[in-house]
């Protein structure tokens, strides 16, 4: 399997690449790349061919309601993230000095696996379409919702969820936790969180309680898709969502891609780990700036570079 990138030595031991997850999508993303860079155009056209419909048009023109659908948003964000990575490495060859780690938030883990050399672009797009469809179906079978809880520590948030019958879904940063579950449980949890002193609670507009036990049917469905996909050991360690530990191992990746669908995303621990390993520069490839904002907040001395459109692909190194 040909690697998406041809990394070179010497390795850049203080650099990490990160990739965003669902929620980063917006109509118009990637259009400037598609118009200006043949390599980006090739990726969008290839994704259209794999999926059998014009994902590129959905990214560039919408409608927004269709782009927001989980089954569409997941491959759309990955294509855009990987197009940004591909173009940036052409414009700034220094990026091909092997990073110390790659990591991605939720579906961003697929982009990280492509960047690491463990998963091909084609297989990532196929898997994400299946993942999105399975998660959307699980949300219809087991209706649920999610909400962000700000200003409450993890222990208190865990207590709140246990009392309300909700679950922790994403630990994004200290004091920034996303919970999920059945709607009535999440509503109770938000009331309890406010009573415990949460600074703010924000209901999220989502089609299901992602990364919770309500997604178990989707995780079970991913077993087949992940099992038949071609994968390999990685050239660059990938810090995994479920454990916030690094791996290059193909079997670990297969298990991770099943487990992470119905398990919490440990992003705060991932950032902490990368900081402990001496990472000084984080480069986020993808629409939006969500991960950059979290990393800046958690690691104030770290340099953060956000590559999210054609105007930012010339990366300062």
Q: Could you report the per-residue pLDDT of 191-209, keeping only the tens digit for each?
A: 999 999 999 999 998 989 9
Distance of CA 251 to the CA centre of its chain: 20
Q: Which domain holds residue 53?
A: 11-140+212-312
Same domain, 32 and 148: no
Q: What is the CATH number of the domain that holds 187?
A: 3.30.70.250
Quote the number of domains for the chain: 2
Among 157, 177, 204, which residue terminates a domain?
Answer: 204
For residue 168, pLDDT beyond 70: yes
Residues 84 and 173 both lie in one domain: no
Read off the pLDDT of each residue in 67-71 and give the average, rounded to a whole number. 94
Let me know if residue 175 belongs to a domain.
yes
Say whether both 156 and 103 belong to one domain: no
Reduced to 3 states (helix: H, G, I; strand: E, B; else coil), residue 292 is helix
152 and 134 in a single domain? The answer is no
> What's the residue count for the chain?
317
**Same structural domain, 198 and 300:** no
Say whether both 101 and 232 belong to one domain: yes
Residue 77 domain-assigned (yes or no):
yes
Q: What is the DSSP track for 12-75?
A: EEEEEEEE--TT---TTTTHHHHHH-HHHHHHHHHHHHHHTS-HHHHHHH--HHHHHSHHHHHH
pTM score:
0.97
pLDDT tens for 80-92 read 999 999 999 999 9
Q: What pLDDT score was predicted for residue 1?
A: 58
% of the chain beyond a pLDDT of 90? 95
Residue 301 lies in a domain: yes
User: Are residue 231 and residue 292 in the same domain, yes or no?
Assistant: yes
CB 105 within 8 A of CB 21: yes
DSSP letter at 312 equals G
Q: What is the domain-level CATH number for residue 135?
A: 3.40.366.10
Q: Is the pLDDT of residue 2 over 80?
A: no
pLDDT higher than threshold 80 for residue 11:
no
pLDDT class of 110 with cuts at 50, 70, 90: very high
Q: Both 200 and 103 in a single domain?
A: no
Residues 86 and 50 in one domain: yes
Give the residue-averaged pLDDT of 46-57: 98
Q: In terms of domains, do 18 and 154 share one?
A: no
Tell me the pLDDT band of 278, cut-offs 50, 70 and 90: very high
Separation between Cα atoms, residue 100 and residue 84, nearest integer Å: 19
pLDDT classification of 317: cutoffs 50, 70, 90: confident
* Shared domain check, 184 and 161: yes
What pLDDT shows up at residue 7?
92
Same structural domain, 200 and 52: no
Q: Catalytic amino acids? A: 106, 211
Q: Give the per-residue pLDDT at 46.
A: 98
Domain assignment present for residue 317? The answer is: no
pLDDT tens for 135-158 read 999 999 999 999 999 999 999 999
Query: What is the rounded CA–CA span in Å between residue 225 and residue 254?
Result: 10
Confidence of residue 10 (pLDDT cuts 50, 70, 90): confident
């Amino acid at each position: 399997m040909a690697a998406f990138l041809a990394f070179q030595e010497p390795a850049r031991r203080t650099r990490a690449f990160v990739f965003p997850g669902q929620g980063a999508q917006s109509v118009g993303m990637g259009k400037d790349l598609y118009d200006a860079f043949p390599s980006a155009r090739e990726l969008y056209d290839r994704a259209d061919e794999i999926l059998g419909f014009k994902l590129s048009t959905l990214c560039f023109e919408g409608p927004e309601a269709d782009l927001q659908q989980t089954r569409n948003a997941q491959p759309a964000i990955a294509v855009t993230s990987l197009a940004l990575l591909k173009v940036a490495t052409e414009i700034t060859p220094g990026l091909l000095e092997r990073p110390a780690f790659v990591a991605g938030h939720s579906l961003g883990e697929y982009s990280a696996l492509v960047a690491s050399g463990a998963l091909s672009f084609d297989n990532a797009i196929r898997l994400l379409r299946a993942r999105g469809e399975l998660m959307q179906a699980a949300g219809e079978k087991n209706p649920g919702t999610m909400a962000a809880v700000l200003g409450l520590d993890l222990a208190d948030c865990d207590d709140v969820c246990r009392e309300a019958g909700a679950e922790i879904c994403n630990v994004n940063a200290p004091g920034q936790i996303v919970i999920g579950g059945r709607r009535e449980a999440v509503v109770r949890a938000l009331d309890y969180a406010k009573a415990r002193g949460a600074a703010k609670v924000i209901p999220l507009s989502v089609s299901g309680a992602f990364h919770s036990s309500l997604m178990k049917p989707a995780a079970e469905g991913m077993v087949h898709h992940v099992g038949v996909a071609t994968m390999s050991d990685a050239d660059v360690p990938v810090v995994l969502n479920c454990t916030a530990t690094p791996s290059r191992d193909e079997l670990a990746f297969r298990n991770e891609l099943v487990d992470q669908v119905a398990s919490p995303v440990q992003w705060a621990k991932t950032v902490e780990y990368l900081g402990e390993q001496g990472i000084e520069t984080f480069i986020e490839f993808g629409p939006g700036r969500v991960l950059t904002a979290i990393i800046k907040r958690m690691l104030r001395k770290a340099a953060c570079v956000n590559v999210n459109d054609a105007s930012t692909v010339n990366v300062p190194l």
